[in-house]
Chains A and B, each alone.
Chain A
Amino acid sequence: MHIAEGFLPPAHAAAWTAAAAPFVIHGVRSLTQAVRANPDAKLLLGASGAFCFVLSALKIPSVTGSCSHPTGVGLGAILFRPPVMAALGTITLLFQALLLAHGGLTTLGANVFSMAVVGPWVAYGVYRLVRALTGALPETTSLGLAVFCGASLASLGTYTVTSLQLALAFPDAQSGVPGAFAKFGAVFSVTQIPLAIIEGLITVVIVRLLITASRSDLLRLGILRADAAATEPADGKAV
């Protein structure tokens, strides 16, 4: 859910940009360090960024009849870690603003905060938590549960933060910020709650297919545990 250009008052836009800046600077620093340590990483990072953009442009059925776009934030955070995702997400949002007119330039900071900072950290936190709690379960079940919870809660987290950003900018005349938060939350929940569930399911499908088809990449990115990968036979099933 992108806040459109000019929707936030200038002071709010500036404040959210300032709030997102440290995370993005940290992300950019880790990105440049990765490139300096390993020049081969540059092309893979380019491919990852393009993948994030295209993922967020895929159409999925939301409420009957209408199509919606997943954020792709959950998968990105699980695959590439939140700091890298803060940088890649910012680039993706910039491209979305200039190539698709989704989101704005003055509201880029607010969108970055919800979609490239809060979303990835929620996804990664929930993913790690569920992964630790379900350590006793078989590897694929544990991974599936963790990925579903991470991706759908990241989508919901993004939507909650966006509603909060709008509520802070436009408090209700009677009940202030909490009332406005309820209003914005209610209006956008029609599309966002089904979207979060569907996004969680799709992310699980993606990760399960990647386990069978691209095991070495998942091991390199640290998503599969090395011991589990060694015990489970790789069946090179075609996707």
Chain B
Amino acid sequence: MLAIDAAAYRSPWRRLHPAVKGIFCGGLLVCALALPAWPGAALTAAVVLAAAFGPAGVPPRAFARAAWVPLGFILTGAVTLLVSVGGPDGAVAWDPDGWQRAAEICGRASAALLCQLLFAFSTPLAELLPRLTRIGLPSALVEIIALIYRMLFVTLDTARRIGLGQAGRLGYTSRRAWIRSVGALGATLFIRSYDRARRMQRGLECRGYTGDLRVLVESLPLRAGQVLAAAAPPLLVASTALGYGVLL
């Protein structure tokens, strides 16, 4: 299983309706993007981290590991803002105002990233996907999305096991072997995925498949109190940040 999905199933917030978590994380995401970076992004990040490690019970190690790659992208992207090119001071010159822009973008993007991660770490996709028809997506598309999600884990497991076998036969010892092994892995994966889909099709047909794949969706109540509680922190962050801006 993927670390984020596994954590989402264990989350204490799993029983909350996805819309409640969407309002909380989405509201904070809007705060991170729309408010002035100082203090908006800092406040948002603080609220998200407090919620994640407090009531949402997100495992810190898995959270840090998931955040690592996108944070790397944010930092690499921000580094380019420190210099300017083609100015009168030479081809590549230090930009005196660059660090302010870089810090602003780093803060904003990191806060937004934390909001996204909190949502992913508390909402299993299996509970979110069947509800996508409510926001107007065609049901055939939602069915394919759900099907991809269900086939994903078997395919990932197949890839992992083929990779393990290849590594056992020294398939990843040199770069050349690595390329050949990854190629063989991709080809085998394609063949096995198609074969499995065909066999599944045959199995479904034998059970009277008419084109509908029905799954049981756990009904979660959407309570007004929870919606209000979820909307309060983003509103509080927004008013604090805007109030801070007016006062100074």
Contacts and interface: CB of A to CB of B under 8 A. Distances in A.
Contacts of B105: 7, 170
Contact of B144 (A4, A91, A94, A201): A91
A6 B5 contact: no
Contacts, number: 248
Contacts of A55: 186, 189
Contact of A98 (B80, B120, B179, B200): B120
Contacts of A104: 70, 112-113, 116
A67 to B, nearest CB: 10
A239 to B, nearest CB: 5
Contacts of B239: none
Interface residues on B, range: 35 or more
A2 interface: yes
From A51, A182, A207, name the one whose CB has the most chain B CB atoms within 10 angstroms: A51
Interface string A202-216: 111111111001100
Contacts of A170: 80-81, 101, 105
From A61, A178, A205, name the one whose CB has the most chain B CB atoms within 10 angstroms: A205
B225 interface: no
Given A44-B194, A49-B144, A100-B2, A58 B182 contact: yes
Interface stretch (A28-36, A121-129, A135-143, A152-160): A28-36
B84 A172 contact: yes
B186 A75 contact: yes
Interface stretch (B29-37, B53-61, B214-222, B228-236): B29-37
A234 interface: no
Contacts of B178: 60-61
A198 B85 contact: no
Interface in A4-46: 4-7, 9-10, 28, 31-32, 35-36, 39-40, 42-46
A231 interface: no
Contacts of A58: 159, 182, 185-186
Question: At the interface, is chain B mostly helix, strand, loop or mixed?
Answer: helix
A172 B93 CA distance: 11
B67 interface: yes
Nearest to A52: B148
Contacts of B213: 42
B63 to A, nearest CB: 10
Nearest to A51: B193
Interface in A186-238: 187-188, 198, 201-210, 213-214, 217
Interface residues on A, range: 35 or more
A72 to B, nearest CB: 8
A2 B149 CA distance: 20
Contacts of B154: 50
B191 A214 contact: yes
Contacts of B161: none
Given A6-B108, A99-B5, A184 B144 contact: no
Given A39-B211, A43-B197, A100-B4, A205 B70 contact: no
Interface of A: 1-7, 9-10, 28, 31-32, 35-36, 39-40, 42-51, 53-55, 57-58, 60-61, 70, 75, 79, 87-88, 91, 94-95, 97-106, 166, 170, 172-175, 178-180, 182-184, 187-188, 198, 201-210, 213-214, 217, 239
- 8 tightest CB-CB pairs across the interface, nearest first? A6-B112, A205-B183, A174-B87, A46-B147, A175-B86, A49-B148, A209-B187, A47-B197
29 contacts: A5-B70, A7-B105, A9-B33, A32-B141, A44-B201, A46-B197, A47-B193, A51-B193, A53-B152, A54-B189, A98-B128, A99-B4, A100-B2, A105-B116, A166-B77, A172-B85, A174-B85, A175-B84, A175-B86, A182-B85, A183-B83, A198-B179, A205-B187, A208-B183, A210-B187, A210-B191, A214-B194, A217-B191, A239-B191
